[in-house]
């Protein structure tokens, strides 16, 4: 149960960091959060692709490549929403919320970088 609470807290902290970092146009705290998620997901079956995309996202943030960041956030958002379908109970809603925040973040990055259609 403690692990489940820890993962739920991890998801909520990530959503908060994601929304605040993008709105403030900073990467503060994103590297540590992304690294934590890479460690969490790299050993779980079915999540290696997401972990790999998180590594790419971390690089794109370091390079300040808005187009790549928005593309990866969108891909990660869609994959996270799909993963939520496999989750049970309250975890399902939290994971879906994280996926939706990633998708929202992708659109915001596009807007901030002047790439919105």
What's the mean pLDDT in 65-85?
Answer: 91
Given pLDDT bands bounded at 50, 70 and 90, which one contains residue 75? very high
Q: Report the pLDDT value the prediction gives residue 116, as an integer from 0 to 100.
A: 57
Buried b (16+ CB within 10 A) or exposed e, 16-53: ebbeebbeeeeeeebeebbeebbeebeeeeebeebbeb
Closest CA to 37 of 59, 10, 56: 10
pTM: 0.78
User: pLDDT at residue 1 above 50?
Assistant: no
């Amino acid at each position: 149960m403690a692990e489940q609470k820890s993962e739920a807290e991890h998801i909520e902290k990530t959503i908060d960091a994601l929304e605040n970092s993008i709105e403030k146009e900073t990467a503060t705290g994103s590297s540590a959060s992304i690294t934590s998620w890479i460690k969490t997901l790299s050993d779980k079956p079915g999540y290696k692709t997401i972990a790999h995309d998180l590594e790419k996202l971390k690089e794109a943030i370091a390079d300040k490549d808005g187009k790549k960041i928005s593309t990866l956030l969108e891909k990660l958002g869609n994959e996270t929403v799909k993963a939520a379908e496999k989750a049970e109970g309250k975890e399902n809603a939290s994971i879906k919320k994280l996926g939706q925040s990633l998708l929202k973040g992708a659109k915001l990055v596009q807007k901030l970088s002047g790439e919105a259609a």
